[in-house]
Amino acid sequence: MKLSDRITRIPDPEGNAWALFDRAREMQAQGIDVTILSIGDHDERTPDLLLDRMYNATRAGNTGYAPLMGSADLRQAIAERVSRTTGSPTAPRQVAVTPGGQMALFNAFLAVLDPGDHAVIVDPYYATYPLTVRAAGGVPVTARADPDRGFQIDLDSLAAAADGARALLINSPNNPTGAVYSRQTLEGIAEIVRTNDLWLISDEVYDSQVWDGHHLSPRALPGLAERTILIGSLSKSHRMTGSRVGWLVGPDALVDALPDLAVASTYGIPGFIQEAALHALRHGQEVEADVHATYARRRNLAIAALAGANRIRLSPPQGAMYVMLDIRATGCTAQDFARELLEEDHIAVMPGDGFGRSARGHLRIALTVEDERLRRALLQIRKRADS
């Protein structure tokens, strides 16, 4: 039987970005001690404070169908957080709770794209982006961010890609590059968005991980709130990756249409998870501060471990829990380097190619193992590059 074009077109024609990660997991299953620096999942698990809340909520009976768009309290707490982080007043009715930021992205594209519409993504991009656009029936087109300009978005390339498009997706702080967009960059983006009458999808799941400068949301720029869809999540900020709690914030008419999508797909997220999410937002300041301190420390550790390397260049990331290593001076492709690193040194990293052409010749390192292990792995990568 034939599968739909929609589903068969989802995978990346240039190959599976996670192939090396899958191989690393396979090696682990064979009992090999692999250092996994290839996925943005915390080494420390969801804190007891939040697990206790989940457990107590289940025991108190919150195990039935839950409010589709999120409970009133949770939407209120998210609206308050978004008002604070963006500086743009946000009402609870403009918030939809989703199973993770990833589902918020998918919902956003489903809500604004018709089949065949172009959606602009910035290369390098988070590896799910092109798949998400295609799954929603759209066509991803790329604008460039130049590795030799700190991976800041190239506005000329953006203007060219935006011509005739329906939507633009940006991500600051950025995975994989660590770039944080300046006010000037965001104003340049805003101009292009207005001129081309685009929806702007702003993925801000790393908004609490800024090392250099400040997080700025385009939602706060004049005239942008009505065409901006903000994506947020507790996965990165509160070590809740497995709980699948995210949100989308958008104009009233867009959010009003989302219950139909939830009825047709997820039916919302579990009530006991919503209770834990509310607790995280109301009482999780220490958790968030600890996550922040952990990655800030590891970022500095990585900069120190690679300082003075001959064939690796690390441009200090301004935000997010990754570092990008420029290994072009080794003369190896990122794929070959990463493959040998995994097979011979048992260290798994992501070759840049999985994030787009602009990341070729780079390795993305997730700072998600404990400090000493991270330092040893980085020194081993340095040794391999310099040998």
Contact residues: ligand PLP, CB under 6 A: 40, 100-102, 126, 171, 175, 203, 205, 233, 235, 241, 246
Q: Closer CB to ligand PLP, residue 185 or residue 241?
A: 241
Q: Compute the C-alpha angle 276/282/285, nearest 5°.
A: 100
- How near is the Cβ of 310 to ligand PLP at its closest, in Å? 31
Please report the sign of the dihedral spanned by the C-alpha atoms of residue 361, residue 175, residue 325, residue 31. Answer: negative
Q: Do strands 322-326 and 362-366 pair parallel, antiparallel, or not at all (unpaired)? A: antiparallel
Q: Closer CB to ligand PLP, residue 131 or residue 329?
A: 131
The token pair that represents 120 in the structure block? 């602009």
Using alpha carbons, select from 216, 211, 372 the residue that is nearest to residue 299: 211
- How near is the Cβ of 100 to ligand PLP at its closest, in Å? 3
- How near is the Cβ of 203 to ligand PLP at its closest, in Å? 5
- How near is the Cβ of 85 to ligand PLP at its closest, in Å? 15
The token pair that represents 331 in the structure block? 């003369």
Burial class (CB in 10 A: 0-12, 13-18, 19+), 131: middle
- How near is the Cβ of 361 to ligand PLP at its closest, in Å? 21
Using alpha carbons, select from 237, 227, 258, 185 the residue that is nearest to residue 88: 227
* Single-letter code of the amino acid located at 162: A
Q: Closer CB to ligand PLP, residue 281 or residue 309?
A: 281
- How near is the Cβ of 222 to ligand PLP at its closest, in Å? 26
**Cβ atoms of residues 284 and 239 within 8 Å:** no
Q: Which helix (H) or strand (E) holds 252?
A: helix 252-264
- How near is the Cβ of 365 to ligand PLP at its closest, in Å? 14
CA distance 341 to 367: 17
Q: Closer CB to ligand PLP, residue 97 or residue 338?
A: 97
Please report the sign of the dihedral spanned by the C-alpha atoms of residue 128, residue 131, residue 135, residue 136. Answer: positive
Q: Closer CB to ligand PLP, residue 176 or residue 188?
A: 176
Using alpha carbons, select from 109, 106, 127, 107 the residue that is nearest to residue 118: 109
Q: Closer CB to ligand PLP, residue 42 or residue 384?
A: 42
Residue least distant from ligand PLP (Cβ)? 100
What is the DSSP code string of 344-372? HH-EE-EEGGGG-GGGTTEEEEE--S-HH
Q: Do strands 35-36 and 347-348 pair parallel, antiparallel, or not at all (unpaired)? A: parallel
Bridge partners for 140 per DSSP: 119
Q: Closer CB to ligand PLP, residue 305 or residue 349?
A: 349
- How near is the Cβ of 204 to ligand PLP at its closest, in Å? 9
- How near is the Cβ of 43 to ligand PLP at its closest, in Å? 15
Q: Closer CB to ligand PLP, residue 309 or residue 322?
A: 322
Q: Closer CB to ligand PLP, residue 171 or residue 358?
A: 171
Q: Closer CB to ligand PLP, residue 46 or residue 241?
A: 241
- How near is the Cβ of 387 to ligand PLP at its closest, in Å? 32
**Cβ atoms of residues 312 and 327 within 8 Å:** yes
Distances in Å between the Cα of 52 and the Cα atoms of 64, 148, 270, 276, 278 are 19, 47, 15, 8, 13
